[in-house]
């Protein structure tokens, strides 16, 4: 295998073989890799006469600068390839050297580092191991096909499942209430979540400008900027958000995941299930972490308790993923 083919591979023992073919020659081709379109520039020679150097017919303008840059690139590429060669071995690296003319060895770079290394004796000509014939019957072929098919079926069978915490935790809820989200409920919720996250992470941010951009990206009317910002300001003035901003630590948009064992409640298809989700806001107080989940449903005041019960399971799913103490110490 050449060095380009072994990139990313590893073997316990690696031989750097074929110690021939290393020589220097003038660079007569330049590749411009600086733009999206790769361009090449080359020198054109005439027909060689005998052992004389072929006549020069044409060369690019500024060829000296071009070829100097290409020579520098090729030198760096050579260093990268030598690094690949030296780092493929897991246990032993054998570097072949030449007794004479080692300057023509592509591995001559390693010569000075091998002075104290053991020299492996030449085992001389070796005979190939004697082979033997295997008789394969039609039955053997049929059995092998069946075995391969079973292996493919086994490899295609999922060993675990994944699920979103929100859908998984709300699916078994028996609490029902009528929540009006409007024509663009999901998009509106995305905008409000973004504004709340930004207000907590960057208190001095221009929420009006951000709301204008977010509404446009979600395909909503940009004249709702004031409505969105005022809604966020009302949430920021709430008791729970004031507690969050006064806490020693608060985190926003915290991704989490947990493993539900096979056969346990919430396990999908009886498989071990990785449950993933995002916590909108979590802040630490003396009694522990407080988890906040934003909802933009439009409900009557009399439905608040039912909504809280409906969404309680979603918060309880995320709660075990939060450590008991602070995430970091000051």
Asked if 168 and 300 sit in the same domain, the reply is: yes
Distance CA 271, CA 261 (A): 7
pLDDT (tens digit per residue) in 273-304: 999 999 999 999 988 899 999 988 888 888 88
**pTM for the predicted model, two decimal places:** 0.51
From 22, 26, 20, 19, select the one nearest 43 (Cα to Cα): 26
Asked if 218 and 295 sit in the same domain, the reply is: yes
Distance CA 201, CA 86 (A): 46
Share of the chain above pLDDT 90, in %: 52
What's the full length of the chain, in residues? Answer: 330
Strand (E) positions, the chain? Answer: 11-16, 29-32, 39-42, 44-45, 56-58, 89-95, 161-164, 249-260, 273-285, 288-292
Asked if 179 and 309 sit in the same domain, the reply is: yes
Last residue of some domain: 50, 83, 113? 113
Q: Specify the number of domains making up the chain.
A: 2
Give 85 or 179, the one with higher predicted confidence: 85
Range of the domain at 236: 161-321
Res 234: pLDDT: 94
Asked if 86 and 198 sit in the same domain, the reply is: no
> Is 124 within the bounds of a domain?
no
Distance CA 121, CA 118 (A): 9
Asked if 94 and 179 sit in the same domain, the reply is: no
Res 24: pLDDT: 74
Model confidence band, residue 329 (pLDDT cutoffs 50, 70, 90): very low
> Which residues, other chains included, contact 84 with Cβ-Cβ below 8 Å and sequence gap of 6+?
3, 6, 7
> Is 209 within the bounds of a domain?
yes
Q: Which residues pair with 284 in a beta bridge?
A: 249, 289
Model confidence band, residue 330 (pLDDT cutoffs 50, 70, 90): very low
> Is 272 within the bounds of a domain?
yes
Res 136: pLDDT: 94
> Is 317 within the bounds of a domain?
yes
Asked if 179 and 67 sit in the same domain, the reply is: no
Asked if 169 and 69 sit in the same domain, the reply is: no
The torsion angles phi and psi of 125, rounded to 5 degrees, stand at -60, 140
> Which residues, other chains included, contact 70 with Cβ-Cβ below 8 Å and sequence gap of 6+?
27, 29, 30, 31
> Is 285 within the bounds of a domain?
yes
> Is 105 within the bounds of a domain?
yes
| Lookup: tokens for 287 | 């009694």
pLDDT (tens digit per residue) in 60-69: 988 889 989 9
pLDDT (tens digit per residue) in 141-194: 999 999 999 999 999 888 999 988 888 777 655 455 555 555 557 899 999 999
Res 178: pLDDT: 52
Asked if 178 and 98 sit in the same domain, the reply is: no
Rounded mean pLDDT of the chain? 88
Distance CA 92, CA 105 (A): 20
Asked if 306 and 178 sit in the same domain, the reply is: yes
Share of the chain above pLDDT 70, in %: 94
Q: Are 257 and 317 in contact (CB under 8 A)?
A: no
From 197, 168, 161, select the one nearest 316 (Cα to Cα): 168
CATH label of the domain that carries residue 308: 3.90.320.10
């Amino acid at each position: 295998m050449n060095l380009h083919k072994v990139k990313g591979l590893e073997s316990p023992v690696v031989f750097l073989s074929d110690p021939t073919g290393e020589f220097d020659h003038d660079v007569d081709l330049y590749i411009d890799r600086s733009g999206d379109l790769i361009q090449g520039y080359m020198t054109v020679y005439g027909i060689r006469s005998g052992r004389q150097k072929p006549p020069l017919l044409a060369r690019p303008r500024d060829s000296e600068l071009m070829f100097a840059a290409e020579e520098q690139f090729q030198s760096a590429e050579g260093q990268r390839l030598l690094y690949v060669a030296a780092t493929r071995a897991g246990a032993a690296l054998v570097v072949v050297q030449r007794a004479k003319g080692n300057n023509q060895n592509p591995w001559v770079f390693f010569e000075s580092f091998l002075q104290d290394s053991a020299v492996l004796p030449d085992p001389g000509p070796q005979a190939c191991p004697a082979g033997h014939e295997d008789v394969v019957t039609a039955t053997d072929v049929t059995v092998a096909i069946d075995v391969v098919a079973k292996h493919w079926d086994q490899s295609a069978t999922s060993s675990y499942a994944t699920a979103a915490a929100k859908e998984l935790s709300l699916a078994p809820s028996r609490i029902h209430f009528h929540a009006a989200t409007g024509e663009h409920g999901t998009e509106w919720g995305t905008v409000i979540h973004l504004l709340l996250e930004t207000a907590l992470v960057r208190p001095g941010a221009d929420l009006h400008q951000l709301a204008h951009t977010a509404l446009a990206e979600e395909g909503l009317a940009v004249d709702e900027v004031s409505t969105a910002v005022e809604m966020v300001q009302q949430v920021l003035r709430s008791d729970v958000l004031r507690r969050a901003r006064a806490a020693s630590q608060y985190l926003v948009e915290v991704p989490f995941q947990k493993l539900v064992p096979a056969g346990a409640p919430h396990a999908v298809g009886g498989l071990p299930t990785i449950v993933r989700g995002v916590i909108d806001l979590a802040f630490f107080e003396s009694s522990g972490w407080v988890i906040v989940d934003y909802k933009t449903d439009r409900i009557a005041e009399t439905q608040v308790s039912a909504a809280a019960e409906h969404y309680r399971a979603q918060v309880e799913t995320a709660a075990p993923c939060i450590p008991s103490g602070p995430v970091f110490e000051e």
